[in-house]
Structure 1
Amino acid sequence: MVREIMEEGLLTSRYQLPPNETKPTSNGADGDGLTDNLNMPSQPAASSLTLVLVFCTFVAVCGSFSYGCSLGYSSPAETGIMEDLDLSLAEYSVFGSIITIGGMVGAILSGKIADLIGRKRAMWFSDVLCTVGWLAIAFAKNALWLDIGRLLIGLGVSIFCYVVPVYIAEIAPKSYRGSFASSNQLMTSSGFAIMFFVGTFISWRTLTMIGAIPCVVQIIGLFFIPESPRWLAKCGREKEFEASLKRLRGENSDISEEAAEIRDYIATLEQQTEASFLELFQRRYANALIVGVGLMLLQQLGGNSAVVYYTSRIFKESGISGSLGLQVLAVLQVPAATIGLLLMDRSGRRPLLLVSASGLCFSYFLQGLAFCFKELPNLKALTPPLALSSTLIAATAFTIGLGGIPWIIMSEIFPINVKAQAGSLVTLVNWSTAWIMTYSFNFMMDWSLAGTFFFFSGISGLTVLFVAKLVPETKERTLEEIQASITHFM
């Protein structure tokens, strides 16, 4: 216990005021009380928004686009694959869900890979896995090659899920970090939307080749962007660290204050022993773990992955044309993600999460009512419009908040000395829960159509309470501020 307190003090003592002094309360965006008692090194008044920063973010979120393509592929491709390769429903169910198995394996490795070889090389590694996976599906002649390809894609995109938001969080200035990190969800939604929309017009093999395009674009783009300056600082590569930060902030910018803050924080962390996986569960990391793991768990228990993978079945059960429903849903995704991006650094993470979870709670309750009405002759006609409306509301609510913000918060709250272990853990929780939900969804639907969505509505209600009570606001704070202050939150 004494050792824990002493090590915790290394992180927090240099940021605290003397006991008899108080810090003036800010009336600006930073004055929400999360770090009012912390005296953090200030950032330069003018945050640097450069073309290099924009380009780096674009290249990174090509991985998010690939992830979105993998999410949206199985639903529009279902009929074509089953007919062309003569697959049974059970064989196609394995194909649809095996991506989550690959995701679980990739989740275990993601943090360590990004820590050992760097953020850029981790993205390269993911691109290779995903490209090979898409090609295996495109040229598959039987279920085995389909499954191998889908498994490889799961491995690749699970690494993207960790490394893309971490890279963006580590390169972006605090005043733009939320908006830039939200582009992760925007591109995920864009990939998902393109697959849903285009997949109703073209063959499943051609659709597979579209999924490989963002991987190729990212492989090329990674040659022209710098490595994360915080990762370089952690590795002691001083010249590369300064060059990377200078390139990101602009050649004429003064990076001395930001560089000194990063160096000081890294030096403080290095005074501790290298954290092992078991040390992640010590008291000083408890708050961050509860928030990170809790958000990932609730995100998937709310049923999003299952609903995405089996959207066609939901529409058919509701009496809606599968192709029409997919097209309408696809059109809605990008505007919803754009709204989330624009609001991220204005409203903050917590308000968007609360709105998102509340919207999901309401929409899934409506979906459950729609299936209840299906069993009542006098109200049966209400099922299709109510089911379509609730699906669109749920998709919008998820996209603006719970779809991307848990990954943003995960990239912000964990100190760099445990980020690999913590990132692997929360990513594993996300993918393993996704597998449970996608595997059990068809059984839940056979048990009760209405009951399935009432269950999801209840989980979304719990998410509202979890966010309101436990999740801190992180907008417009440096990563070092967030990580030092979360120890004192709750």
Structure 2
Amino acid sequence: MVSPFIKQCWAVAGVQLNYVAQGMMLSFPASLLPALKDPASTIKVDLQSASFLASCVGLAATLGFLGSSSLMNVLGRKLTFGAALLPAIIGWGIIFFANSVPLLIAGRLLTGVTGGATITLGAIIIGEFTDPKYRGVFLNLNTVSAGLGTMMLHIAGHYFHWRTAALISLVPLSAAFCNLLTWPESPAWLASKNRYADGEKAFYWLRGKDEDSVKEFEAVVRAQKERMAQFPETLTCSDDIVEFFKKFTRKDFLKPISIVFIGFLLLEGSGRHTFPAFAIDFIGDVSGDHSQTFLYTMCMDVITAASALMATYLVKVMKRRTLLFCSGISSVVILLSVSLYLYLVSLGVLANDKAWIPLILLVAYFVVSNLGCTSIPLGLLGEVLPLPHRGAGTAVSGIAFSFNLFLAMQATPLLMATVNTYGTFTAYALVMIFTLVIMYMILPETKNRTLQEIEDYFNHGKFLDETPHPGDDEVKMKMLDRQP
């Protein structure tokens, strides 16, 4: 008899394989661009085309977000996830055979479509498939998997031609596609389609049938029936459009979307995607030794993956808010320290003979930022979007993710060319400060909460406690601080 935990691990493995592939996709410029800039390259690029090759995946991700957000409500999570993997498989094939910049861009755009479609959908699948006790760990593994993909691409790009690296990137995508064929459909999606018997079967297959799981699924069904009684399902396309725009007047939509948007801004401010893509340039500038950039990059990749793995333990034992703000504040302090050191070196105030100082600070930054700033924002996507808004919420948050990713990937090489690495790091730190202040004010504690409890929070502004208080005329709501 296979335990529910093992079944959840197996289903989540397909999502994690996809995150490995997305880490390889985002880091591919680190292998591709230096090769194209080589005088011997048959494909020539300038600063503008190189910047667009790196950043175009952010634009393409918008199409992926919009497509998956529509299809996930119509076709279900499983079929949509499988369809979303296909553009990247085709895209890597185009990159492998490309002999011009336009073909490389076309391949990158297709991989970006899959990235956008699966990054958010994968988080939602994990949120709906897994037990609240393990959900935070599974969501945090997304960062570990992406970090592993980054390291694999850097190694492949160093030892093999960039075309071979593109071919290697097909492996985790193919494995993810095979894995998803064994999944059940999402119980939450089945319940949203009033297929309660199928949803119950899938839910108990994933989660087992004990007192807690029975209560959780009953709460999902009860909430869905209440929702259907209050908001009957629309039948026409025009009704769907009207309902979509009505969501922007509802607090249970605006609040979680605001959290996701600010979380994505924090993600890019922490350099989650730009550091891997421009790792060789960053580390070369910080160390002052471009001949050893691959060794330094590998060290950083290992440290990043190890710290992200450490975060999977911390997210189990610590509250989300505590971990996020400890990680964020420490990251800002370290990043500003690196910026100040590099700035003083550029002025000649400090001698440029102690490269180990900024490298150690950068190592510390990668460790502490991966403990919270780069993992929790993506994890929140799988937790805070209420079931009736997950399709629209995925579309809106996806557009925000694409915009932030495109802006970060486009701006980073320009910032490095104009204000140097220390100015770029300072800009990152300022974005992080801004987002952390807002997150402090709007982010609830979601640790060990069921998705239905989190949904109730955004409906009522508080987590519900149905225990009567002496002297009260009615059952009041109060904030719970549930311990693990």
The bucket for the TM-score relative to the shorter chain is: 0.7 to 0.9
Return the offset for 1:153: 0.4
Cα displacement (A) at 1:254? 8.2
Residue 259 to residue 302, structure 1, CA distance change in 2 (3 Å)? closer
Q: Given the alignment, which residue of 402, 417, 423 partners 2:373? A: 402
Shift of 1:406: 1.3
Task: Assess if the C-alpha contact under 8 Å between 1:99 and 1:150 holds in 2.
Answer: yes
Aligned equivalents of 1:348 and 1:304: distance in 2? 22
> Taking every aligned residue pair, what percent have the same amino acid on both sides?
21
Label 1:114 to 1:392 Cα distance change in 2 as closer, same or farther (>3 A).
farther
Tell whether the 8 Å contact from 2:144 to 2:308 is kept in structure 1 after alignment.
yes
Describe the shift of the 1:429–1:374 C-alpha distance in structure 2 as closer, same or farther (beyond 3 A). Answer: same
Q: Rate the CA distance shift 1:259–1:283 in 2: closer, same or farther, 3 A.
A: closer
Q: Output aligned runs, 1:28-39, within 5 Å.
A: none
Q: Give SS of 1:226's match.
A: coil
Please say if 1:328 is aligned against 2:294.
Answer: no
Which of 57, 62, 68 is the aligned partner of 2:12?
Answer: 57
Q: Could you say if the C-alpha distance between residues 61 and 269 of structure 1 is closer, same or farther in structure 2, counting changes exceeding 3 Å?
A: farther
* Distance (whole Å) between structure 2 residues aligned to residue 185 and residue 348 of structure 1: 18
**One of 359, 363, 371 as aligned partner of 1:388:** 359
* 2:262–2:439 contact (8 Å) kept in structure 1: no
Question: Equivalent residue of 2:273, what SS?
Answer: helix
Residue aligned with 2:445, SS = coil
Structure 2 residue aligned with 1:218, among 167, 176, 179? 176
Once the two structures are TM-superposed, the CA of residue 383 in structure 1 deviates from its matched residue by 6.2
Q: 1:387 to 1:116 in 2, by over 3 A?
A: farther
Give matches, 1:340-419, under 5 Å.
340-377=311-348, 379-381=350-352, 384-419=355-390
1:460 corresponds in structure 2 to 432
Confirm or deny that 1:74 pairs with 2:74: no
Deviation at 1:372, TM superposition (A): 0.8
Work out whether residues 193 and 333 of structure 1, in 8 Å CA contact, stay in contact via their aligned partners in 2: no
TM-score when scaled to structure 1?
A: 0.85
Alpha-carbon shift at residue 124 of structure 1 (Å): 0.8
Where does the alignment leave 5 or more consecutive residues of structure 2 unmatched? 234-239, 463-478, 480-484
Distance (whole Å) between structure 2 residues aligned to residue 383 and residue 173 of structure 1:
49
- In the other structure, the counterpart of 1:185 is 143
Aligned match of 1:315: 283
The separation in 2 between residues aligned to 1:50 and 1:354, in whole angstroms, is 30
Partner of 2:251: 284
The whole-number CA distance in structure 2 between the counterparts of 1:152 and 1:222 is 20
Give the CA deviation at 1:289. 2.5
Report the AA paired with residue 17 of structure 2.
C
- 1:232-251 equivalence runs, <5 A: 232-250=190-208
Root-mean-square deviation (CA, aligned residues, Å) is 2.2
5+ residue gaps, structure 1: 1-47
Q: CA deviation at 1:303?
A: 4.1
Aligned to 1:201: 159
1:122 aligned residue: 80
Q: 2:223 aligns with which of 257, 265, 282?
A: 265
Which deviates more from structure 2 when the two are superposed, residues 446-455 or residues 200-209? 446-455
Contact 2:36 2:44 in 1 (8 A): yes
- Asked if the contact 1:136/1:145 (under 8 Å) is kept, the reply is yes
Asked if structure 2 preserves the Cα contact closer than 8 Å seen for 1:186 and 1:338, the reply is yes
Q: Residue 87 of structure 1 aligns with which residue? A: 44
Name the CA shift for 1:253/1:382 in 2 (closer, same or farther; >3 Å).
farther
Measured against aligned partners, the alpha-carbon deviations of 1:368-403 in whole angstroms (never above 9, x if no partner) come to 123213323352325632332233233223322222
Alpha carbons of 1:350 and 1:382: their partners in 2 closer, same or farther (altered >3 Å)?
Answer: farther
The separation in 2 between residues aligned to 1:287 and 1:158, in whole angstroms, is: 22
2:448 is aligned with 1:476: yes
Tell me if the contact between 1:301 and 1:433 (Cα under 8 Å) persists in the aligned partners. Answer: no
Q: Does 1:113 align with 2:75?
A: no
One of 131, 142, 145 as aligned partner of 2:103: 145
Contact 1:193–1:330 (CA under 8 A) maintained in structure 2: yes
Which letter maps to 2:442? L
Which runs of at least 4 in structure 1 moved beyond 4 Å after TM superposition? 251-255
- 2: CA distance between counterparts of 1:208 and 1:199? 9
CA–CA distance in structure 2, aligned partners of residues 213 and 67 of structure 1: 12
Q: Distance in 1 between matches of 2:212 and 2:363?
A: 46
Q: Are the equivalent residues in 2 in contact too, given 1:366–1:386 (CA < 8 A)?
A: no
Quote the Cα distance in structure 2 between the aligned partners of 1:132 and 1:435.
22
| Alpha carbons of structure 1 residues 290 and 189: separation in structure 2 relative to 1, 3 Å | same
The count of corresponding residues between Structure 1 and Structure 2 is: 443
SS of 1:224 mapped into structure 2: coil
Query: Deviation string for 1:285-339 (max 9, x for gaps)?
Result: 2322322222122322444433332222222323133212211111112211111
Shift in Å, 1:191? 0.9
CA deviation after TM superposition for structure 1 residue 244, in Å: 0.9
AA aligned to 1:61 is Q
In structure 1, what is the Cα distance between the partners aligned to 2:59 and 2:205?
A: 39
